[in-house]
Structure 1
């Protein structure tokens, strides 16, 4: 652990398995702003979605993906257990623009609450891939408020995957977001489908 972050490498997570056969709703909130970095994050999430749904018959998991970019976040993939649906919805996703992260988390929280009313026995896991930056007026203040609200609702376990550029001066905003959510913050220098799936299976 370093500065409050859990330092994971993909090889550290190999062989990790979730215990039991409970079904899960896994909601990815992925920062799709920027260019190459956003593409890397989306590629990792897409691969993780396919991997998780590949053995969904064992637990009947469902997966959703929310893209955070531009003026408003977008539900790229509504909750589904179908690999075919996931593949179609996640092809040719747009990237770039601003980062409406508070709105993205609010959208995720509302989705989780709706699904909880439909299936109260299904465990929800919120996975946020971001550097914690939030554009717009009062972006960071709004982000803190939304994160506290999600933590208070208690409908989902959360994990933040810190995607801040390692070569620049670190702002630690992802770690702050994780603390406000009451969630672990995992720093990964090599983000890929295997590492993201490993994180999910280790929760």
Structure 2
């Protein structure tokens, strides 16, 4: 068990890949630092989630991203050798692990599609319907701030707020507070993705 303070690094791109982590308590951000100095959020991890597994089983020698505790966090680190023993000893664990890897690949495909849209409204609609699995008359709670959401959409925060207001004016959604969004018309959001 490892304890990390708020803003303390768990893994970074200079660290040799030796472990996967299981977050017992706290929150982690997985972020990619680009050469231009921009930081792009990739994943947000909460209690019970696994991280570092793709890097550990890839051909890379280091972790590709910064993994930072966003609040005090308890983490279990498991070596590659121990993970392999566990996978070979229990078919259910192996199945769940492979499903985890497949879901991460699917998420990255969705992220690639999201970033291919040219308009901010399309990105917002796509994110709500696919990343957050929004349904009609449902309230979505963002797992992070709108600033972080804007960064993950690769747009500025003022642009995100402006386009959310526009979508409110179209009666497609309602911003309830800083991290809650009510979905009024999911079909309208889907149509907006395809319209441009």
Higher share of residues assigned strand: 2
For the pair shown, which has the larger CA radius of gyration, 1 or 2? 2
Q: State the TM-score, normalized to the length of structure 2.
A: 0.27
Determine which structure has greater relative contact order: mean sequence separation of CA pairs < 8 Å that are 6+ residues apart, divided by chain length: 1
